[in-house]
Amino acid sequence: MATTRLIPMHQNKGKSVSQCLADRTEYAKNPDKTEDGHLICAYECDPATVDAEFLAAKRIYADRTGRSQQSDVIAYQVRQSFRPGEVTPEEANKIGYEFVMRWTKGKHAFIVATHVDKAHIHNHIIYNSTTLDCTKKFRNFLGSTNSVRRLSDAICMEHRLSVILNPLLSRGHYGKWLGEKKQPTFSDRLRQTIDVVLKQKPKDFEHFLLLMESAGYEVKRGAHVAFKGAGQHRFIRLRSLGEGYSESELREVIAGAKLHMPGKAAASKPNKQVNLLVDIQAKLQAGKGPGYERWAKTFNLKQMAYTLNYLTENDLLSYDALNEKATEVSSRFHALSAQIKAAEKRMTEIAVLRTHIINYSKTRDVYVAYRKAGYSKKFYEEHTADLLLHKAAKKAFDAFDKKNIPTVKALNIEYAELLAAKKKAFTEYTNARAELRAVLTMKANVEKILERDKNIDTAIIFAENSLKDL
């Protein structure tokens, strides 16, 4: 990790708070810097409407407390930069999220935008000066920058990243220390090498790995193929390189089943997360003001647009189809959940039985000596621990025929198979859970619009008309 700075964001002269928030957040969200917006995460706000949400919170704060803002600080920004080649954009984004959650203690809404337009990956973290409950504000304090740096350094060390000890005060960014010329990252170099090797038409995947070794890369084989080139401290997995570079995709390219498209983005692009529509009237009755109402209307329009896109892309243009899809995804999710739980239960049983077998083997000689001693009380007192372990092991074996007690080797093989199956199922489980949340959210949004009449065409017309107002 390189540098970390806490920067109060002031209201510019001649501009409203709304304009200033929009300018600052739009810069952070720049799609050219954030892989088309896919390196942005948020807490208690939507990145698309973060400026409006921050502003609404400030207005609610004024209404609830009766206090007017004395300073021109409208939000706070933390710039967090990383040494080139140490982290992937996705890792940097996660570290940024972890940092700001610990810094704000989850009391302030924020966005984390990871920029990859320079040689050094860096985060732009913007959090609202107003708390989520709209009753307090963050107060900058003497030494806050040092506190930010210490926390960020601690998190980086937890993730085994480098930190700068005793950094010199500077108004420049980390890129200034490296020179202005942008250098390719280790991931960029690995992608380029893969592109060159694939042009040599390897006959199979193993031949591809041998060519990569000839190109100067150390290859780690196993469940996740990874490479380490000159100057790298850590291996880079294929799956972290993004679309077009996973092991399965490269195997298809080598087999001639698909074409390789070099130069694709390093980050995979998840679908836009859709949220539940806001019940505006209920919120207004609960005390929300006109500012919140304006934000909520915009928010609802955007969510309906996202809902419409999802329904169209997935051919769910009838309520019955949507309901059937929800049932199907729910069934798959629960089946995977049951599969994982069954695997975990059996793995626990194996671990216990394996321990008993090992304990039985270790304590058998002690038990034989105890029996030869005529079950001496004195001998028992001297070897109580071993004899109890032996007794527990024999009791566990009662459920087996003596000839059918499995070996430790057989149990290890079964455990490894269950672990592999669990990992595979967990990946599917994670995807199914995300899909289930999306489908249920869509279904709830449609039902909210339709109310009693569940005619999907009505929802589509509403959403299409709403798009014109955006």
Q: What is the per-residue pLDDT across 65-78, written as a single tens digit (0 to 9) for each?
A: 888 766 778 899 99
The two tokens of residue 447 are 């039902």
220-270 confidence digits (pLDDT tens): 888 889 998 887 878 888 888 877 888 888 998 998 888 887 654 433 344
Alpha helices in 159-273 (DSSP H): 174-178, 186-198, 205-214, 247-255
Query: Is residue 261 domain-resident?
Result: no
- Give the global pTM: 0.40
Give the pLDDT score at 465.
52
Q: Kind of pairing, strands 226-228 and 236-237? A: antiparallel
Residue 446 φ then ψ, to 5°: -60, -45
Residue 35 has pLDDT above 70, yes or no: yes
Least confident of 73-77, 165-169, 192-196: 165-169
Residue 114 has pLDDT above 90, yes or no: yes
**Which among 128, 149, 178 is the end of a domain?**
178
Average pLDDT, the chain: 80
Residues near 431 by Cβ (< 8 Å), separated by ≥ 6?
A: none
**Which among 139, 160, 178 is the end of a domain?**
178
Both 66 and 42 in one domain: the answer is yes
Query: Is residue 263 domain-resident?
Result: no
Query: Is residue 262 domain-resident?
Result: no
Give the pLDDT score at 403.
63
> pLDDT band at residue 276, thresholds of 50, 70 and 90?
low
Domain count, the chain: 3
Both 150 and 223 in one domain: the answer is no
Both 307 and 197 in one domain: the answer is no
CA 203 to CA 209: how far, in whole Å?
A: 11
CA 379 to CA 372: how far, in whole Å?
A: 10
Both 67 and 83 in one domain: the answer is yes
Query: Is residue 298 domain-resident?
Result: yes
Query: 395 versus 282: which is more confidently predicted?
Result: 395
Both 120 and 168 in one domain: the answer is yes
Both 174 and 195 in one domain: the answer is no
Both 158 and 247 in one domain: the answer is no
Both 89 and 118 in one domain: the answer is yes
Residue 368 has pLDDT above 60, yes or no: yes
Residues in the chain: 470
CA 420 to CA 412: how far, in whole Å?
A: 12
Give the pLDDT score at 264.
44
Kindly report the number of other CB atoms within 10 A of residue 249's CB atom: 18
Both 285 and 334 in one domain: the answer is yes
**Which among 154, 178, 202 is the end of a domain?**
178
Both 37 and 145 in one domain: the answer is yes
Interval 327-332 mean pLDDT:
90
Residue 212 has pLDDT above 70, yes or no: yes
Here the CATH number for the domain that contains residue 18 is 3.30.930.30
CA 192 to CA 197: how far, in whole Å?
A: 9
Both 282 and 211 in one domain: the answer is no
Give the pLDDT score at 176.
45
Both 307 and 409 in one domain: the answer is yes
Tell me the residue range of the domain where 56 lies: 4-178
> pLDDT band at residue 183, thresholds of 50, 70 and 90?
low
> Amino acid identity of 245?
Y
Query: Is residue 266 domain-resident?
Result: no
Query: Is residue 116 domain-resident?
Result: yes
